[in-house]
Copies of this chain bind each other. A is one copy, B any other.
Amino acid sequence: MAGATREEKLHLAREEGAPEEWASYLEDDDVIYATTQIFDALADYTRFRILGALTTSERSVGELQRLCGVSQSAISHQLRLLRDRGLVTMRREGQRSIYTLADEHVATLIAVGLEHAGHWPE
């Protein structure tokens, strides 16, 4: 069942799982799925650096390209994903597209992740 959809997995779990053994906030699979999607967005080296760069300041695609050291196309593709996942927002400013962290949640997650990875920004 390599290609099992989330719905299929959920069905199995509901068949066999005993609800009361779960923390209540783990019962809503839509929330779980949404959460994994956020973690997934943060789980790539390039995307993480993009988001990290945006914690300092909003930036254009060109700036991000220079800071992250990957091609314009690659940056753009990843920004698209981050935008679709709701982690960043974009606005046009002349020829440029300016990207911004969608909200403080993102910065918080980055900070918590870094902290738990063994580094404590003081």
Contact = CB atoms under 8 A, between A and B. Distances in A.
Interface of A: 1, 6, 9-18, 21-26, 28, 31-40, 42-46, 48-49, 52-53, 55-56, 66-71, 105-106, 108-110, 112-114, 116-119, 121
A25 B49 CA distance: 11
Given A32-B48, A35-B42, 19 more contacts: A1-B71, A9-B45, A13-B49, A14-B69, A16-B69, A17-B67, A23-B55, A25-B114, A31-B117, A31-B118, A32-B52, A33-B45, A34-B117, A35-B116, A36-B42, A36-B43, A42-B43, A43-B43, A109-B113
A22 B121 contact: no
28 contacts: A1-B71, A6-B45, A9-B45, A9-B70, A12-B70, A14-B69, A15-B69, A16-B66, A17-B68, A17-B69, A18-B67, A23-B56, A26-B55, A31-B119, A32-B48, A32-B52, A34-B117, A35-B48, A35-B110, A35-B113, A35-B114, A35-B117, A43-B43, A105-B116, A106-B116, A109-B112, A109-B116, A112-B112
